[in-house]
């Protein structure tokens, strides 16, 4: 009881903190920061698109707006609605605060579902004793708080950018998949894909979640467990298959359920159709769907806008020779797609973690990254806090994040505003940030669950213990 | 009898068929040259050359011309030009001092650099292609980089704010084009006498380019194509050169008279260094005018009254103030329509009677100091940038009331009257204008945009495709002192190849055009019909009052131009790092590695076991490099030996097979 009260206190404090910050948008000027507002998510561009639409032109006329027409009809009226004496984008900011709160709550609910699933599978493996050692707060609560109190989330929410909405939809999709609510999952996935294209790769974890459930330890784990209980000799391991017949009948638990997946597919096509119909209605006079796809997803893929952001691609494409441009565009986007299948094969029994890895990778390699994306994957990272308790280099990573987030605005200021630095300084911080991001998922994820889940059968106990307690070091266990 | 009839018939036929060619002046080619000189209030002199060539319609006259330049004729024929104007300008017209409310200003004050607009009489889908070819042709014709207007980012098609509506109008400007003598020479070549005779002969290059402002303009109006037949005037080529020069103060000690500064006296010789030695014989007429503008006349009258000079009965009333070195052939007074009691005066000189040994050198000598100011447009328009840094900024257009003279104040000062102001502005794509941030301040107070804005048409800029275009009709109360329009923009970031050679200098935004459609800058002159003058009829045309604003210089953030290779390699390294580490993690199975190690240690003897323990310890510290130990342990593996031998055998066999 005490714990939940503290949780809610912190949640409400974070909301108050946001509300306080919203009242000083002119002083903070976060909406102009390249870290916060990319050409895709900038609310200023959305207001311009809305203005163009109001003056009966296509919102995509000119290269200002690249978002969805639906977002335009929802947020557009709010950008012009003004309360006297209040900052201009107040209504939108309030909406973003609500979106952040909902996202945090969904992350929490997802965390609780995950925890339940873990405990179930532990119980089925007769490892109930491990469950007793619960920490101060559950992983879901921690993840929600991490999401709400992450400075990156806060500046994304306060600086007018539409990424809180995108994050909300992604989390909604994961939440729906965790609870096996196919329509909800499909809704979140379709809209997230519609808004920012990259979540399209989340279809794999969502399907796995719907098929296997939130947690499906590998079959051989149970096999091994059963066989060791049956007193099998240690000779039956390694490259030589054990005789599975002995324990076949005892095998539980996690068959792949096709029903929710089919539901998901149906619902997804329904929502997709619905979204397209809505968009084509709102863009009837202005070029229709093709124009929309060209201006939104095409804009993401072709990387037309070279204004600086926290990624490395803008500078790359500002400098690269024109005849190599297409080649590198393909290479960089293939890089995201290339890893999808191997990762899905290796992590198929931990779909939530797979989703996290996908989100992290796409936020690192996407064409217009912003801190809003990092905020999302850092928040989801909180869900695996138990597994990552012994993460290596966490202090180093933490310092790296702090250093980059301090240096990057300084370098930007030197280059853009004062004219004393040059573009290379800013690009250097972007490179450092990219390396950090690359380092962090690698380090943290692989020393966590991945290691734990892929150990061969002979170290089942070690595995399970490591998995549940977050102790995955060999030395501690043997 | 029959023979007589047939001869008569033949003669009649002849008469009928040849009549159009010889009939009247409209069927003839015409060339005329005129020069207007006007003292300016700030001790400078305006010289405005006006050359006009007319070619009768091709249908009647045929393709061969005596006077009309062939290059221009072919241009009109090829690109089906209905109207075109090309101007090369160096310097900025000073609206405040040199006047903003007369026909010369509104037609000839042009933005610095090159400005080109054309109405092409071709189907709408071919306009752009024709325009591109036209820019290239003109570029060759005038030795200028007009071909930069070819790119779709450089020109726009205004709807109504620049010229009354025409779908096939294209407008482009190159603010940074340097204008010099290599542009003037081809321009002069279009004249039938070039610069060898006539008025153009006094165009001494050094004295022109020493001036404060010069603008050479070429305007083409053609009814050759498209329009309905009948009332055709063929092609009219109008070439004007407007120069503002400062006469040398030759007698400095007499410049001060009674404590006030005397205006400098000047003559053609003193400002151009040359004199007019007769007319161009091909010209129909060759006239020099000296204009005394309206405000100067009223000022002189005032002074005259004070000095007790009688009311103007003859031309001699100006005698106490200035002298003309040559007696004018004629004095023309402005027909006074709206502008109160004073009207400007033109002194006309015909150069026909002057010859080489008796050149024409008109001069004006001031006797008494006089101070006046030129008539102003109702608002003075200027444009400037707000904000610092290379990320964003605002463009502001400010209109300041010039406290216009009594003339049109009287009919504007009524209650509730409004002034209409048209603004036409083109911004290049890298200045990304947020049209929703348009704000209007009237007399320093923020107003709702809808109060002032009557009509707006924008075509927003597309990255690397088209520039942004803004056309606005604004209405302000007559009593307004000042108005400011601001609009925010983001600065774009360009590809490294798109920057000009001197990237840090910044980028120029072409001038905005501010028009005042409620006012007409026409001037009518009382004139006997003995001779028509192209210049004066130009003055009487419907001239909309307009002014160009300043060019803006926008600095953009630049990337490092020297290191594309570094950026490519570093970025690719990061990607390789990502790919490699992910692949490594995917491939690796920690548990299996441990098992292999264990098996190996069990199988081996004492020493290898020790070694492997040592290596395991090392590994425990450094966490990786399992390959080295496993390879060392399995180096003597017979299976491996066999594999190596097999591969080597295949390789040798392969080698021999291919030799």
pLDDT digits (tens, 9 = 90+) for B533-557: 888 888 888 778 888 999 999 999 9
Cβ pair B376, B275 in contact under 8 A: no
Q: Which of A37, A319, A360 to mutate to test the interface with B (most CBs of B within 10 A)?
A: A319
Q: Do A438 and B460 touch (CB under 8 A)?
A: no
Spatial distance between the Cα atoms of A23 and B35, rounded to a whole number of angstroms: 66
Q: Do B577 and A416 touch (CB under 8 A)?
A: no
Q: Output phi, psi for B89, to 5 deg.
A: -135, 140
Number of folded domains in chain A? 1
b (16+ CB within 10 A) / e for B388-406: eebbbbbbbbbbebbebbe
Closest partner CB to A456 (pick from B434, B595, B620): B595
Residue A236 lies in a domain: no
| Whole-number average pLDDT of chain B | 81
Q: Do B574 and A48 touch (CB under 8 A)?
A: no
Cβ pair A477, A471 in contact under 8 A: yes
* B429 Cβ under 8 Å from any chain A Cβ: yes
Closest partner CB to A306 (pick from B432, B494, B568): B494
Identify the H or E element spanning B561: none
CA B321 to chain centre: 40
Q: Which residues of A touch B595 (CB under 8 A)?
A: 238, 456, 458
pLDDT, tens digit, 9 for 90 and up, residues B628-648: 444 444 456 788 888 899 999
Both tokens assigned to B33: 């040259």
- Tokens 């096999």, residue? A223
Q: Do B567 and A316 touch (CB under 8 A)?
A: yes
Would you tell me how many other CB atoms lie within 10 Å of the CB of residue B337? 11
**Around B510, how many Cα atoms within 13 Å sit in the side-chain half-sphere?**
30
Closest partner CB to A306 (pick from B392, B495, B560): B495
Q: Do B595 and A438 touch (CB under 8 A)?
A: no
pLDDT, tens digit, 9 for 90 and up, residues B177-201: 888 889 999 999 999 988 888 889 8
Longest dimension (CA), chain A: 79
Spatial distance between the Cα atoms of A462 and A470, rounded to a whole number of angstroms: 11
Both tokens assigned to B232: 């055709």
pLDDT for position A119: 79
* Three-state SS at B590: helix
Domain extents for chain B? 52-282, 402-554, 623-659
pLDDT for position B218: 93
pLDDT for position B398: 93
Q: Do A456 and B388 touch (CB under 8 A)?
A: no
Residues 477-496 of B with CB under 8 A from A: 490, 492-496
Task: Name the burial class of residue A398, with classes exposed (0-12), middle (13-18) and buried (19+) by CB atoms within 10 angstroms of its CB.
Answer: exposed
Who's near B256: CB < 8 A, 6+ residues apart?
B262
Longest dimension (CA), chain B: 147
Q: Which residues pair with B155 in a beta bridge?
A: B172
Q: Do A63 and B389 touch (CB under 8 A)?
A: no
State whether the Cα torsion A359-A364-A368-A373 is positive or negative.
positive
Q: How far is B152 from chain A (nearest CA, A)?
A: 14
Spatial distance between the Cα atoms of B467 and A381, rounded to a whole number of angstroms: 45
Q: How far is B598 from chain A (nearest CA, A)?
A: 12
Least confident of B36-45, B85-94, B359-368: B359-368
Q: Which residues of A touch B591 (CB under 8 A)?
A: 454-456, 458-459
* Alpha helical stretches, state H, B99-251: 103-108, 127-142, 181-189, 205-209
Pairs across A and B, CB distance < 8 A: 142
Closest partner CB to B390 (pick from A346, A416, A474): A416
Closest partner CB to B568 (pick from A319, A365, A475): A319
Q: Which residues pair with B474 in a beta bridge?
A: B421, B453
Who's near A374: CB < 8 A, 6+ residues apart?
A152, A363, A437
Cβ pair B52, B35 in contact under 8 A: no
| β-strand pairing of B392-401 with B418-427 | unpaired
CA angle B397, B434, A39 (to 5 degrees): 150
Closest partner CB to B590 (pick from A50, A343, A451): A451
Nearest to B517 by CA among B378, B640, B387, B657: B378
Who's near A43: CB < 8 A, 6+ residues apart?
A31, A37, A75, A79, A89, A92, A160, A161, A162
Over 50: is that where the pLDDT of B230 sits? no
Nearest to B287 by CA among B52, B554, B629, B593: B52
Using CA atoms, how far residue B23 sits from B26, B58, B60, B61, in Å, is 8, 15, 11, 11
Nearest-CA residue of chain A relative to B583? A339
Cβ pair B530, B341 in contact under 8 A: no
Q: Do B388 and A417 touch (CB under 8 A)?
A: yes
pLDDT for position A457: 29
Would you tell me how many other CB atoms lie within 10 Å of the CB of residue B19? 11
pLDDT per residue, tens digit, chain A (478 aa), is: 677 888 899 999 999 999 888 877 666 777 788 888 899 998 889 999 999 998 888 889 888 899 889 888 888 888 887 666 666 678 888 899 999 999 999 999 999 888 888 777 777 766 665 555 555 568 888 899 999 999 999 989 888 889 999 999 999 999 999 998 999 999 999 999 999 899 999 999 999 999 888 776 666 666 666 655 554 444 444 444 444 444 444 445 567 888 889 999 999 999 999 999 999 988 888 878 888 888 899 999 998 889 898 888 999 999 998 899 999 999 999 888 888 898 888 777 778 888 888 898 888 888 999 999 989 988 888 888 776 666 667 788 888 889 998 999 999 999 998 888 888 999 999 999 988 887 765 544 444 444 444 333 222 333 333 343 333 333 333 2
Over 90: is that where the pLDDT of B8 sits? no
Spatial distance between the Cα atoms of A366 and A354, rounded to a whole number of angstroms: 18
Residue A343 lies in a domain: yes
Spatial distance between the Cα atoms of B83 and B648, rounded to a whole number of angstroms: 83
* Three-state SS at B315: helix
Strands (E), B264-362: 266-267, 285-292, 322-324, 330-333, 345-350
Residue A239 lies in a domain: no
- Tokens 């075509």, residue? B459
pLDDT-derived band at B591, boundaries 50, 70, 90: low
Using CA atoms, how far residue B604 sits from B426, B597, B610, B612, B617, in Å, is 83, 11, 9, 9, 17
Nearest to A259 by CA among A211, A187, A216, A206: A211
Residues 385-404 of B with CB under 8 A from A: 388-392
CA angle B359, B361, B367 (to 5 degrees): 155
Nearest to A194 by CA among A126, A272, A110, A308: A272
Spatial distance between the Cα atoms of A295 and A292, rounded to a whole number of angstroms: 5
Nearest to A350 by CA among A188, A175, A209, A144: A209
Q: What is the 3-state secondary structure (H, E, C) of chain A?
A: CHHHHHHHHHHHHHHHHHHHHHCCHHHHCHHHCCCCCCCCCEHHHHHHHHHHHHCCCCCCCCCCCCCCHHHHHHHHHHHHCCCCCCCCCHHHHHHHHHHHHHHHHHHHHHHHHHHHHHHHHHHHCCCHHHHHCCCCCCHHHHHHHHHHHCHHHHHHHHCCECHHHHHHHHHHHHHHHHCCCHHHHHHHHHHHHHHHCHHHHHHHHHHHHHHHCCCCCCHHHHHHHHHHHCCCCCCCCCCCCCCHHHHHHHCCCCCCCHHHHHHHHHHHHHHHHHHHHHHHHHCCCCCHHHHHHHHCHHHHHHCCCCCCCCCCHHHHHHHCCHHHHHHHHHHHHHHHHHCHHHHHHHCCCCHHHHHHHHHHHHHHHCCCCCHHHHHHHHHHHHHHCCCCCCCCCHHHHHHHHHHHHHHHHHHHHHHHHHCCCCHHHHHHHHHHHHHHHHHHHHHHHHHHHHHHHHCCHHHHHHHHHHHHHCCCCHHHHC
pLDDT, tens digit, 9 for 90 and up, residues B400-432: 988 754 444 445 555 678 888 999 999 999 999
Nearest to A372 by CA among A95, A166, A110: A166
pLDDT for position B90: 92
pLDDT for position B606: 63
Spatial distance between the Cα atoms of B238 and B537, rounded to a whole number of angstroms: 12
Q: Global pTM?
A: 0.83
Cβ pair A140, A107 in contact under 8 A: yes
Q: How far is B392 from chain A (nearest CA, A)?
A: 9
- Tokens 């007074």, residue? B333
Enclosing domain of residue A427: 2-228+248-477
pLDDT, tens digit, 9 for 90 and up, residues A125-145: 666 655 555 555 688 888 999
Using CA atoms, how far residue B472 sits from A226, B184, B426, B441, in Å, is 81, 35, 12, 15
- Tokens 């923009």, residue? B489
Q: Which residues pair with B633 in a beta bridge?
A: none
Task: Name the burial class of residue A172, with classes exposed (0-12), middle (13-18) and buried (19+) by CB atoms within 10 angstroms of its CB.
Answer: buried
């Amino acid at each position: 009881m005490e714990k939940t009260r503290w949780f809610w206190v912190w949640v409400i404090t974070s909301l108050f903190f946001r509300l306080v910050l919203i009242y000083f948008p002119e002083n903070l000027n976060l909406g102009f920061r390249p870290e916060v507002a990319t050409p895709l998510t900038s609310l200023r561009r959305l207001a311009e698109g809305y203005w163009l639409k109001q003056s009966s032109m296509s919102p995509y006329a000119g290269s200002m707006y690249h978002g969805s027409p639906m977002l335009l009809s929802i947020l557009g009226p709010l950008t012009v609605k003004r309360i006297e004496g209040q900052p201009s984008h107040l209504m939108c900011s309030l909406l973003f605060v609500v979106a952040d709160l909902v996202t945090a709550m969904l992350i929490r609910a997802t965390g609780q579902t995950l925890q339940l699933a873990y405990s179930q599978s532990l119980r089925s493996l007769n490892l109930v004793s491990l469950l007793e050692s619960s920490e101060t707060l559950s992983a879901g609560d921690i993840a929600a708080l991490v999401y709400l109190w992450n400075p990156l989330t806060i500046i994304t929410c306060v600086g007018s950018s539409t990424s809180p909405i995108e994050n909300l939809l992604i989390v909604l999709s994961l939440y729906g998949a965790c609870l096996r609510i196919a329509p909800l999952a499909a809704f979140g996935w379709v809209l997230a894909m519609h808004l920012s294209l990259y979540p399209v790769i989340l279809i794999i974890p969502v399907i796995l979640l719907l098929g296997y459930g939130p947690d499906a330890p590998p079959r051989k784990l149970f096999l091994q467990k059963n066989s060791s209980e049956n007193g099998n000799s240690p000779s039956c391991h390694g490259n030589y298959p054990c005789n599975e017949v002995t324990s076949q009948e005892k095998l539980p638990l996690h068959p792949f359920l096709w029903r929710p997946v089919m539901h998901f597919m149906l619902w997804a096509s329904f929502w997709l159709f619905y979204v397209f119909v809505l968009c084509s209605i709102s863009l009837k006079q202005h070029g229709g769907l093709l124009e929309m796809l060209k201006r939104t997803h095409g804009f993401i893929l072709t990387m037309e806008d070279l204004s600086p952001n926290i990624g490395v691609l803008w500078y790359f494409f500002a400098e690269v020779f024109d005849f190599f441009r297409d080649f590198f565009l393909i290479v960089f986007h293939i890089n995201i797609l290339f890893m999808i299948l191997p990762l899905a094969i290796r992590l198929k029994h931990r779909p939530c973690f797979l989703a996290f890895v996908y989100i992290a990778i796409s936020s690192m390699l996407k064409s217009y990254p912003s801190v809003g994306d990092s905020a999302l994957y850092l928040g989801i990272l909180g869900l695996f806090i138990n597994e990552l308790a012994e993460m290596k280099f966490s202090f180093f990573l933490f310092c790296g994040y702090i250093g980059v987030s301090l240096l990057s605005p300084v370098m930007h200021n030197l280059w853009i505003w004062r004219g004393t630095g040059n573009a290379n300084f800013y690009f250097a911080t972007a490179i450092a940030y990219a390396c950090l991001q690359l380092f962090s998922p690698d380090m943290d994820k692989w020393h966590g669950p991945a290691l734990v889940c892929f150990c061969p059968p002979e170290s089942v106990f070690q595995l399970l213990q490591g998995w549940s307690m977050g102790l995955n070091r060999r030395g501690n266990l043997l | 009898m029959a023979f007589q009839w047939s001869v008569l018939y033949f003669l009649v036929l002849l008469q009928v068929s040849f009549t159009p060619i010889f009939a009247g002046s409209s069927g003839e080619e015409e060339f005329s040259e005129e020069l207007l000189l006007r003292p300016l209030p700030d001790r400078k002199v305006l010289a405005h050359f006006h050359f006009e060539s007319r070619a009768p319609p091709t249908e009647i006259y045929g393709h061969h011309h005596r006077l009309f330049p062939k290059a221009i004729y072919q241009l009109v024929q090829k690109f089906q030009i209905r109207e075109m104007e090309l101007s090369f300008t160096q310097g900025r017209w000073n609206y405040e001092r040199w006047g903003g409310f007369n026909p010369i200003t509104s037609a000839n004050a042009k933005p610095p650099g090159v400005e080109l607009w054309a109405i092409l009489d071709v189907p709408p889908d071919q306009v752009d292609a024709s325009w591109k070819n036209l820019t290239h042709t003109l570029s060759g014709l005038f030795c200028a980089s007009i071909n930069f207007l070819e790119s779709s980012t450089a020109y726009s098609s205004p709807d109504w704010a620049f010229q009354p509506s025409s779908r096939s109008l294209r407008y482009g400007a190159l603010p940074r084009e340097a204008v010099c003598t290599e542009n003037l020479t081809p321009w002069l070549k279009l004249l039938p006498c070039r610069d060898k005779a006539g008025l153009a002969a006094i165009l001494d290059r050094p004295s022109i380019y020493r001036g404060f402002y010069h603008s050479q303009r070429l305007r083409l109006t053609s009814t050759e194509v498209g329009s309905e037949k009948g009332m055709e005037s063929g092609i009219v080529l109008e070439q004007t050169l407007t120069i503002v020069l400062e006469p040398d103060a030759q007698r400095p000690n007499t410049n001060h008279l009674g404590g006030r500064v005397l205006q400098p006296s000047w003559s053609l010789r003193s400002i151009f260094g040359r004199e007019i030695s007769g007319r161009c014989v091909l010209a129909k007429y060759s006239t020099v005018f000296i204009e005394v503008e309206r405000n100067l006349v009223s000022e002189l009258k005032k002074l005259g009254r004070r000095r007790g000079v009688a009311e103007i009965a003859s031309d001699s009333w100006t005698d106490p103030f200035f002298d003309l070195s040559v007696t004018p052939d004629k004095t023309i007074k402005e027909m006074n329509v709206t502008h109160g009691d004073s009207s400007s005066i033109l002194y006309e000189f015909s150069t026909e009677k002057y010859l080489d040994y008796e050149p024409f050198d008109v001069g004006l000598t001031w006797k008494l100091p006089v101070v006046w100011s030129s008539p102003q447009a109702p608002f003075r328009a200027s444009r400037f940038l707000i904000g610092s840094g290379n990320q964003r900024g605002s463009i502001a257009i400010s209109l300041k009331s010039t406290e216009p003279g009594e003339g049109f104040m009287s009919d504007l000062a009524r209650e509730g009257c409004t002034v209409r102001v048209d603004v036409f502005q083109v911004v290049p794509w890298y200045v990304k204008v947020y049209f929703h941030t348009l704000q209007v301040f009237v007399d320093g107070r923020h107003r709702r945009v809808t109060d002032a804005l009557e009509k707006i048409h924008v075509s927003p800029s597309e990255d690397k495709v088209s520039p942004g275009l803004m056309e606005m009709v604004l209405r302000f109360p007559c009593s307004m002192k000042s108005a400011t329009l601001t609009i925010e923009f983001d600065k774009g970031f360009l590809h490294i190849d798109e920057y000009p050679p001197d990237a840090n200098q910044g980028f120029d935004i072409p001038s905005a055009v501010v028009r005042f459609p409620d006012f007409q800058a026409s001037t009518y002159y009382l004139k006997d019909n003995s001779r028509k003058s192209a210049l004066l009829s130009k003055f009487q045309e419907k001239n909309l009052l307009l002014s160009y604003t300043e060019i803006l210089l926008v600095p953009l953030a630049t990337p490092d131009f020297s290191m594309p290779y570094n950026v490519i390699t570093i970025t690719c390294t990061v990607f390789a790092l990502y790919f490699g580490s992910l692949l490594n993690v995917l491939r690796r199975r920690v548990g299996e590695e441990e098992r292999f190690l264990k098996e190996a240690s069990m199988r081996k003897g004492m020493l290898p076991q020790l070694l492997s323990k040592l290596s395991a310890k090392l590994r425990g510290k450094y966490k990786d490099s399992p390959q080295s130990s496993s390879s060392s342990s399995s180096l003597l593996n017979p299976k491996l030996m066999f594999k190596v031998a097999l591969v080597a055998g295949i390789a040798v066999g392969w080698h021999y097979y291919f030799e």
